[in-house]
Amino acid sequence: MVIKKFNQYIKEDASGEKYLLYYAFDWDDNILSMPTVIHMDHLIDGEWVPEDVSTADFAKVRGDSENWRVVNNDPAAAFSEFRDSGPRGDNAFLEDAKSAIAAGRFSPAWEDFIECLVNGSIFAIITARGHEAPAMKKGVEWIIDNVITEEQLHEMYNNLLKFAYLFRHNKEYDRILKGQPSAHPLVKLYLDNCEFVGVSAPSRGGSPANPEQAKEDALLLFMDRVNKFAASIGYKAKVGFSDDDLGNVKHIEGLADNIHHEQFPNILSFVVKGTKYPEDITKKVVTFDEFKESMDPLASSTMSMQTPNAAMSGGLDSKEPFVTRNISQSKLLTKMSKNMTGKSKKKD
């Protein structure tokens, strides 16, 4: 474990000031295009017939109240697959994530999310779904165990060791990752310090009247942690957020325009990326008055927040996290195929 030259992994701006980078992601159609369905009733020959529809189809039929309605006129039942209360319980998110990956239904920020994990970057998932944090965490654990390659796992673990050192986490860890990756104490500590926020979760009061505002509230709490923990080691921070929903992007862009340096004195800049159209990803960069630099945290390196006594995030060697790289779909599908046939190299 090389820690004596740790400073080489920390980014510096033009003035020589060190900074950390932090991620916040929407999930659906930003990281993965999930196959989660809405339970509906369809009027056929004068009778209401149960019929499941995709989110894309729901957007088309939701205005046709003469021929479509939510199943039994019960919104809770209709959207139960987006929560932990449906027939699959708290496995719904995991199962749909696995199905989406197997089908290659990757969204624009997928590669960025994989790089985030490889870099050991602490992140926030902020989604309109109603799953509780443990259910979403299971999906990410599965990705770590089954999608990330052996080489990437090695890099991720090395980054976690480096940041454990930086944040003065004194517990001794093995120099080499052994066993099931997501079950390793350092990896568990890493994920425990990430945030999994379903703004419609029962623990948050159920479906919010204003989902955009609910996402803003979650993002501001994340930024508050970023600000405090960057300050705890004398660094500055840069924050990035990505979402495919145009309404959410517009709302967060408005938030960015109204954030002041006094609110988060240790945050240098904030970037909002819109991923609705993969061929035309939008980017808004807001820097705070005290700072003149305007580097994009989502287009340089990737590092995320953490408590002072926990392993933290990386992105230290990355260059452009919003450019497809590192893990190709062919490598991913090859690894999944090997895992399914029992030919994957067994971890120590």
Give domain limits for the chain.
6-32+106-341, 37-90
Q: What is the mean pLDDT of residues 142-150?
A: 97
C-alpha 25/C-alpha 119 separation (Å) is: 16
Q: What is the pLDDT of residue 16?
A: 63
> How far is Cα 185 from Cα 229, in angstroms, rounded to an integer?
21
Instruction: Answer yes or no: are the C-beta atoms of 121 and 301 closer than 8 Å.
Output: no
- Predicted confidence at residue 3, as pLDDT, reads 36
How far apart CA 296 and CA 259 sit, in angstroms, is 17
Whole-model pTM over 0.85 = no
Q: Which residue has the higher pLDDT, 170 or 14?
A: 170
Average pLDDT for the chain:
81
Task: Note the pLDDT of residue 58.
Answer: 85
Q: Which of 70-74, 108-112, 214-218, 313-317 has the lowest mean pLDDT?
A: 313-317
Does 315 score more than 80 pLDDT?
Answer: no
Lowest mean pLDDT of 34-43, 63-72, 309-318, name the range: 309-318
Averaged pLDDT, 91-98: 97
Distance between CA atoms of residues 251 and 249, nearest Å: 5
**Alpha-carbon radius of gyration of the chain:** 21
Total number of residues shown for the chain? 348
Determine the pLDDT at residue 332: 56
Q: Which of 295, 217, 285, 227 is nearest to 261 (CA)?
A: 227
Q: Check residue 217 and give its pLDDT.
A: 96
The DSSP output letter for 211 is: H
CA quadruple 5, 8, 10, 11: dihedral, nearest 10: 170
- Percent with pLDDT over 70 in the chain: 78
Tell me what the mean pLDDT of segment 96-111 comes to: 97
Comparing 274 with 329, the larger pLDDT belongs to: 274
Nearest-angstrom CA–CA distance, 88 and 322: 33
CA 251 to each of CA 109, 213, 217: distance values in angstroms, whole numbers, following the listed order: 19, 8, 12
